[in-house]
């Protein structure tokens, strides 16, 4: 039984790691790992392979950065001959990045069954490139593995047959649970002169926030004001750093030395920081989930989320990404009782094992 597994961008690596580990319990499975090369910097890719002990990819398509159309097309062009050569029983894709839809589309057109892990999530905001990737990938997937109950409702609404969808929990949390102890033994705070629960952790990379100069300026100004109360460690994504330079926003950072711009961290260092932070301010999808399990308050600088369980069962709060709303949310948070998290169903560290078991059963029934 041959499964080609796809990863391409940073958030894919935490999802693929527990699946590659779970395959080891099934000698009948021959997994092939393909890295599309969507992310390629040491700190956006290789470091994660080492820390999460993901086996080296069998193939790297080395597509690199480009516009959405060009990147997606390049992945498709390079992936098609691989499917033709290896004739897999399944192609497994994770998440919602361009690599996800590109490889799902190639497999589906060649008549190979597609497995989607983290299916069913919907922000209902079609201006997000990821939402388009999610809807399209789910519509051509044969096995859809869902991480939170809202995903099952979304897929039903879209007419996905019941026997294709499986509520299995969250592979991101598998990875978190198997690494949190190691992460906690690291000393990340001293180098930045930070105290546990005495700093905020910031990340931002969504085009909606960082590609619009005025909006980005207003967000940075609010962060500057918050940094006068509490130091902010801003782990900066390459596209965000580029835009600070392009839009000439460096003056805000000079004015507010409490915002400390730092390079992206490895998974373990970042987990340590998330678990020690007083607050996380982000537009990331995965961090909404991780802070929910860590019990760290999370202000998500977005108008919507495809992960509503992180609000109903977690520590997450949506905040309109503009200066005034961010400051108001920060004030409210300071006056709120400590966050308590109920933990969403099946976020128990065992999702990958369930997924692989279902795949094996599906294969045997064919």
Which of 41, 153, 158, 195 forms a contact with ligand UD1 (CB under 6 A)?
A: 41
CB 40 within 8 A of CB 64: yes
Which of 97, 165, 194, 201 forms a contact with ligand UD1 (CB under 6 A)?
A: 97
CA distances in angstroms from 354 to 19, 110, 145, 363, listed in the order given: 10, 27, 10, 14
105 is an interface residue for ligand UD1 by CB under 6 A: no
Q: If we measure between CA atoms, which residue out of 19, 8, 284, 3 comes closest to residue 168?
A: 19
38 is an interface residue for ligand UD1 by CB under 6 A: yes
Q: Which of residues 239-268 bind ligand UD1 (CB under 6 A)?
A: 239
- How far the first Cα of the chain sits from its last, in Å, is 12
Listed in sequence order, the residues at least 6 apart from 331 whose beta carbon sits closer than 8 Å to its beta carbon are none
Which of 205, 260, 307, 354 forms a contact with ligand UD1 (CB under 6 A)?
A: 205
Q: What span, in angstroms and rounded, lies between the C-alpha atoms of 34 and 37?
A: 9
129 is an interface residue for ligand UD1 by CB under 6 A: yes
- Active site residue: 205, 237, 313, 362, which one? 205
137 is an interface residue for ligand UD1 by CB under 6 A: no
For the CB of residue 78, give the shortest distance to ligand UD1 in the complex, in Å: 16
CA distances in angstroms from 58 to 30, 238, 255, listed in the order given: 12, 26, 47
Strand, helix or coil for residue 259? strand
State yes or no: is 313 an active-site residue: no
Listed in sequence order, the residues at least 6 apart from 361 whose beta carbon sits closer than 8 Å to its beta carbon are none
138 is an interface residue for ligand UD1 by CB under 6 A: no
131 is an interface residue for ligand UD1 by CB under 6 A: no
Which of 10, 118, 317, 362 forms a contact with ligand UD1 (CB under 6 A)?
A: 10
Residues labelled catalytic: 205
Q: Which residues bind ligand UD1 (CB under 6 A)?
A: 9-11, 38-41, 44, 65, 96-98, 129-130, 205, 237-239
């Amino acid at each position: 039984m041959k499964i080609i597994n796809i990863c391409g961008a940073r958030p894919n690596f935490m999802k693929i790691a527990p699946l590659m580990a779970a395959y080891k319990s099934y000698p009948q499975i021959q997994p092939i790992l393909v890295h599309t090369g969507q992310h390629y910097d040491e700190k956006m890719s290789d470091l994660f392979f080492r820390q999460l002990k993901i086996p080296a990819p069998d193939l790297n398509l080395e597509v690199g950065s480009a516009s959405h159309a060009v990147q997606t097309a390049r992945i498709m062009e390079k992936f098609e001959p691989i499917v033709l050569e290896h004739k897999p029983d399944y192609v497994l894709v994770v998440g919602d990045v361009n690599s996800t839809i590109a490889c799902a589309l190639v497999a589906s057109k060649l008549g190979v069954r597609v497995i989607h892990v983290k299916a069913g999530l919907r922000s209902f905001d079609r201006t997000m490139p990821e939402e388009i990737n999610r809807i399209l990938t789910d519509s051509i997937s044969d096995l859809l593995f869902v991480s939170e109950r809202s995903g099952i409702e979304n897929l039903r609404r879209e007419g996905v047959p019941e026997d294709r969808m499986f509520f299995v929990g969250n592979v991101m949390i598998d990875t978190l649970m198997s690494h949190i102890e190691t992460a906690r033994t690291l000393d990340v705070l001293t180098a930045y002169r930070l105290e546990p629960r005495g700093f905020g952790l910031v990340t931002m990379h969504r085009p909606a926030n960082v590609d619009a100069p005025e909006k980005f300026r207003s967000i940075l100004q609010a962060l500057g004001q918050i940094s006068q109360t509490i130091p902010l460690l801003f782990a900066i994504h390459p596209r965000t750093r580029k835009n600070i330079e392009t839009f000439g926003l460096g003056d805000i950072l000079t004015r507010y030395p409490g915002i400390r711009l730092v390079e992206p961290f490895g998974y373990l260092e970042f987990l340590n920081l998330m678990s020690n932070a007083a607050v996380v301010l982000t537009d990331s999808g995965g961090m909404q989930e991780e802070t929910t399990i860590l019990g760290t308050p999370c202000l998500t600088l977005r108008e919507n989320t495809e992960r509503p369980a992180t609000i109903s069962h977690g520590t997450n709060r949506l905040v309109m990404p503009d200066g005034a709303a961010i400051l108001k949310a920060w004030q409210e948070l300071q006056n709120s009782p400590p966050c308590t998290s109920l933990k969403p169903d099946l976020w128990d560290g065992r999702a990958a094992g369930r997924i692989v078991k279902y795949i094996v059963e599906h294969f045997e029934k064919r």
